[in-house]
């Protein structure tokens, strides 16, 4: 059987031929040798790659930092890294502790002023960000705010539209355009609610995208990018000037819901690799790929662990050997489950040959018939 080389190796071989100006005669020989080596380096059938993956990933993981450091005075956004981030990825947490986005900008908008404008559009603006002074009147029960007009102008907010946008629980908002003040009256006559009203009012969202608390404009190579703290891909994709083909988030579940399962798989690989490499640990991508394939096998993201893949295995003995031994045995004996002893772990427990490697086959010899005399 002829073996076809993977695209990447084939390209590399071709490039080598061109660069070194190898004569036509020798090319065939070299190609055959490459194919031979490729065959040798392939995993043989029934090799327990899962076990090898587990070891190759967990040994370097022991070297990861237990806690993340905070660097004072550095520009950029502090994202969780090291072991906590690794656990986050493989446990399939619904949202990361520090969600962050990397926003790429289209070629036409590659100008510092334009990029800054996009960044301002994206950043969440609350009432407290634009307010100069607030006064609370205890007798008439209202809160008065004086907005900073220059800030309002910078965020592109007009006084006219403010009245419609501002809605506070238990409060009536009134905007005085002539004197540029906002007055919020309390609906119920209740002094205790007044400070709560003030707090709620100041936390009200007026512009930008909810949840994005920090934006930083950075230069990556020779293009401007925006790094954010807080993530909302769907809304960012609708902002003019954002490159929707490259912008990504570190929230794997968000990527799954916006871009689908295959994108989530790629994102798991990228995030896990980035976390490892950031700590100076080299892990072969193939292992991360196996893990990502396993996590996305069912069409959604499953965690590795008790509530994910390990807890959903079909064999009782495997589940019991992982965690919560008693629980699994009791549940299995009540419902009368049976174990087919088809996996590796079960057979090792039973002191039998496990179906891996050469153990996967049974050889049946043909006894030569006796010659008739």
Rounded Cα–Cα distance for residues 162 and 151 (Å): 14
Nearer to another protein, 16 or 297 (CB): 297
Nearer to another protein, 5 or 181 (CB): 5
What minimum distance in Å lies between the beta carbon of 303 and another protein?
A: 17
CB of 311 to another protein, least distance (A): 18
Closer of 92 and 184 to another protein (Cβ)? 92
259 binds another protein (CB under 8 A): yes
Give 93 or 273: the residue with its C-beta nearer to another protein.
273
- CB neighbour class for 29 (10 Å; exposed up to 12, middle 13-18, buried from 19): exposed
Cα–Cα dist 105/103, whole Å: 7
What's the maximum distance between 2 C-alpha atoms anywhere in the chain? 124
Does 47 interact with another protein (rule: CB under 8 A)?
Answer: no
Q: Is 248 in the site for another protein (CB under 8 A)?
A: yes
Binding mask 290-319 for another protein (x = CB under 8 A): ---x--xxxxx-------------------
Minimum separation from the CB atom of position 238 to another protein (A):
7
* Least distance from another protein to the Cβ atom of residue 295, Å: 11
Interface pick for another protein out of 263, 290, 331, 356 (rule CB under 8 A): 263
Rounded Cα–Cα distance for residues 232 and 234 (Å): 6
46: contact with another protein by CB under 8 A: no
The C-alpha angle with vertex 131 and arms to 125 and 135, in degrees rounded to 5, equals 140
Q: Where does the chain have alpha helices with state H?
A: 7-20, 24-41, 49-61, 83-90, 112-122, 127-130, 149-154, 159-165, 192-202, 233-237, 252-259, 261-278, 285-295, 316-322, 325-335, 344-349
Three-state secondary structure call for residue 100: strand
Please identify, among the stretches 2-10, 142-150, 202-210, 322-330, the one whose residues bind another protein according to the rule CB under 8 A: 2-10
Say whether residue 245 binds another protein (CB under 8 A).
Answer: yes
Decide: is 15 part of the binding site for another protein (CB under 8 A).
Answer: no
CA atoms within 13 A on the CB side of 17: 16
CA distance 277 to 85: 13
Binding-site member from 130, 168, 255, 292 for another protein (CB under 8 A): 255
286 binds another protein (CB under 8 A): yes
The piece of 138-146, 203-211, 255-263, 331-339 that touches another protein (CB under 8 A) is 255-263
Read out DSSP for 180-203? TEEEEEESS--THHHHHHHHHHHT
- Under rule CB under 8 A, residue 107 binds another protein: no
CB of 44 to another protein, least distance (A): 18
In the complex with another protein, the residue whose CB is nearer, 243 or 339, is: 243
Smallest separation, CB 260 to another protein (Å) = 4
Rounded-to-5 percentages of helix, strand, coil across the chain:
45, 15, 40
DSSP 62: T
CA–CA distance, 307 with 95 (Å, rounded to integer): 17
d(CA 255, CA 292): 14
Does 20 contact another protein by CB under 8 A? Answer: no
Minimum Å gap between C-beta 154 and another protein is 28
**What gap in Å lies between CA 370 and CA 222, rounded to an integer?**
82
Pick the piece of the chain touching another protein (CB under 8 A) from 81-89, 193-201, 259-267, 324-332. Answer: 259-267
Binding site for another protein (CB under 8 A): 6-11, 237-238, 244-246, 248, 255, 257-263, 266-267, 285-286, 289, 293, 296-300
């Amino acid at each position: 059987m002829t073996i076809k080389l993977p695209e990447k190796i084939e390209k590399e071989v071709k490039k080598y031929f061109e660069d070194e100006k190898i004569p036509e005669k020798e090319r065939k020989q070299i190609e055959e040798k490459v194919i031979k080596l490729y065959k040798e380096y392939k995993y043989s059938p029934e090799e327990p790659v899962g076990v090898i993956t587990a070891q190759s990933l967990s040994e370097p993981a022991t070297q990861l930092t237990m806690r993340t450091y905070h660097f004072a005075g550095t520009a950029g956004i502090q994202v969780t890294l090291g072991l906590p981030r690794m656990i986050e990825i493989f446990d399939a947490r619904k949202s990361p502790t520090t969600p962050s986005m990397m926003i790429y900008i289209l070629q036409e908008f590659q100008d510092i002023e334009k990029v800054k404008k996009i960044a301002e559009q994206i950043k969440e603006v609350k009432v407290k960000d634009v307010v100069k002074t607030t006064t609370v009147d205890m007798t008439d029960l209202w809160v008065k705010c004086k907005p900073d007009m220059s800030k309002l102008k910078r965020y592109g907010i007009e006084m006219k539209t403010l009245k419609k946008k501002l809605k506070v629980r238990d409060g009536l908002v009134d905007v005085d355009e002539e004197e540029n003040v906002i007055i919020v009256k309390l609906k119920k006559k209740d002094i205790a609610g007044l400070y709560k009203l003030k707090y709620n009012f100041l936390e009200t969202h007026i512009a930008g995208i909810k949840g994005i608390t920090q934006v930083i404009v950075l230069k990556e190579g020779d293009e401007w990018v925006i790094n954010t703290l807080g993530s909302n891909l769907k809304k960012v994709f609708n902002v003019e000037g954002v490159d929707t083909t490259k912008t990504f988030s570190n929230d794997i579940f968000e990527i799954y819901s916006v871009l689908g399962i295959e994108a989530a798989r790629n994102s798991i690989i990228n995030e896990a690799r980035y976390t490892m490499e950031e700590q100076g640990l080299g892990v072969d991508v193939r292992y991360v790929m196996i893990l990502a394939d396993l996590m996305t096998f069912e069409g959604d993201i499953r965690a590795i662990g008790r509530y994910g893949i390990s807890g959903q295995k079909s064999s009782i003995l495997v589940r019991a050997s992982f965690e919560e031994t008693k629980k699994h045995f009791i549940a299995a004996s009540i419902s009368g489950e049976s174990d087919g002893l088809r996996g590796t772990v079960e057979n090792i427990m039973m002191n039998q040959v496990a179906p891996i490697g050469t153990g996967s086959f049974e050889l049946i010899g043909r006894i030569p018939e006796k010659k008739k005399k």
